[in-house]
Structure 1
Amino acid sequence: MAKQGSGRKNPEIELFIKAGFDGENIGNCPFCQRLFMVLWLKGVVFNVTTVDMKKYPHLTPRQPESYAAGSDLFAKFSAYIKNARKDANEKFEKALLKELKRLDNYLKEPLSDEIDANSSETILVSKRKYLDGNELTLADCNLLPKLHIIKVAAKKFRNFEIPVEMCALWRYLNNAYKRNEFSHTCPTNEEIERAYADIAKNLE
């Protein structure tokens, strides 16, 4: 990632690239190397900082299913919001509801690490905060921005709201909004509404 300063004549550019195994030298990353080469070939004056990736927490979900949760949700929403036929609206809405329900079911189902084989207590409903546990992962980073857009745009242009009975899904959303990493990176509702003003079709 290249970072450019505010100076007009002599901008300061900082290139952050993956560090090697020693945490200091250039690491194995063709994308970083490509940027490095392009800047050098263009004669750009820049500083290079290697980043030790081992010092950062891993964001990969433990459960492969967490990646797939809600994977078809945005496609169903897009079809729903772009549909202009009033007689077909119910069909597209049901398809969206089906995907939301599938996500709600996944969030309800306890993960393997929530089940204690030595305990006599049976856990029927998961209490985890996010898709893969109680910490945000890449799966959440992929799904939550789309889910936020769906919540805002569907309400604005179709007067559609995620059903309150989808308790696990609402628990997930509410927990996400409490995290600055999500809530402080969300666009405003107005930005989303403006973006979809030309995409959402009026029902006729």
Structure 2
Amino acid sequence: MADDNHENGTSNGDVPEIELIIKASTIDGRRKGACLFCQEYFMDLYLLAELKTISLKVTTVDMQKPPPDFRTNFQATPPPILIDNGDAILENEKIERHIMKNIPGGHNLFVQDKEVATLVENLFSKLKLLLLNAKDKDKDPKSSSLMAHLRKIDEHLGRKGTRFLTGDTMCCFDCELMPRLQHIRVAGKYFADFEIPETLVHLWRYMHHMYRLDAFLQSCPADQDIINHYKLQQSMKMKKHEELETPTFTTSIPIEVNDD
């Protein structure tokens, strides 16, 4: 297991130490992998660590060659795994509930908003559909259900007029949405030549704000890891040179954005 050393906050007796075990890169087995849930909970906990309510330790595990102690402790359970005071929380829904109810400050991240919940939770299936149809030359990615869904998010952000989905401070929905947008940007472009249109200015402004936050930047997988994640799903082989590539991170914005 590789310790990613994202320790924030202090380790004194007043602040609980939380460990998050996440999947490692499928390319080098050490750096952060492209698991959406791992990044989502990493972001949630990073925000709490910035507020000094917890001290955060992030550990990556190579699931292709998990170490013996991982197999002994967790058997076949894949990350994310949250460890709080010696207790391991293994399922995604239980991790979410634990952050909300048991981790200091966690309840502040979990906002109730049905409209936003629907916007976020239905997005990823649209990306998978786009990738599935990528080889079909008759299907235009610009008319895809993914594009229609991104327009809905853009319209929501335009109506709201705030930095983030529910206001001017981040919440759990932002930690869920932004990793998915990054996968759409990187995998959508690579496999289907899909790009988020520059006309979705509210969405780009949102991404601009997210790209400036440590919670996103520290948790974000490399472009190569996102691409390899989907290659493995499609049983495509990785080329040897990919292991030697310097990791790149797409965080540019194609439009002018004010910082207000």
Shared fold (TM-score greater than 0.5)? yes
TM-score band, normalised by shorter chain: 0.5 to 0.7
CA distance in 2 between partners of 1:92 and 1:198 (Å) = 25
Q: Secondary structure at the match of 2:163?
A: coil
**Does the alignment pair 1:102 with 2:152?**
yes
Equivalent position of 1:74 in the other structure: 124
Change (3 A) 1:76 1:174: same
Deviation at 1:195, TM superposition (A): 1.4
Equivalent position of 1:169 in the other structure: 203
Consecutive unaligned residues of structure 2, counting only runs of 5 or more, are 1-17, 22-66, 74-82, 91-100, 237-260
Percent identity of the aligned residues? 26
Highest relative contact order (Cα 8 Å, sep 6+), 1 or 2?
2
Deviation at 1:135, TM superposition (A): 1.2
Aligned pairs, how many?
152
CA distance in 2 between partners of 1:153 and 1:3 (Å) = 25
The answer to whether the Cα contact below 8 Å between 1:82 and 1:200 also exists between their aligned partners in 2 is no
The answer to whether the Cα contact below 8 Å between 2:120 and 2:173 also exists between their aligned partners in 1 is no
TM-score, length basis structure 2: 0.50
Pick the structure with greater CA Rg. Answer: 1
Aligned partner letter, 1:53: I
The answer to whether the Cα contact below 8 Å between 2:157 and 2:165 also exists between their aligned partners in 1 is yes
Equivalent position of 2:172 in the other structure: 138
Deviations 1:135-169 (A, max 9, x none): 11111111111111011111111221100010110
1:85 to 136, 139, 144: 136
CA distance in 2 between partners of 1:188 and 1:56 (Å) = 27
CA distance in 2 between partners of 1:189 and 1:33 (Å) = 30
CA RMSD of aligned residues (A): 3.7
TM-score, length basis structure 1: 0.62
CA distance in 1 between partners of 2:89 and 2:209 (Å) = 39
CA distance in 1 between partners of 2:206 and 2:234 (Å) = 26
Aligned partner letter, 2:117: Y
The answer to whether the Cα contact below 8 Å between 2:120 and 2:176 also exists between their aligned partners in 1 is no
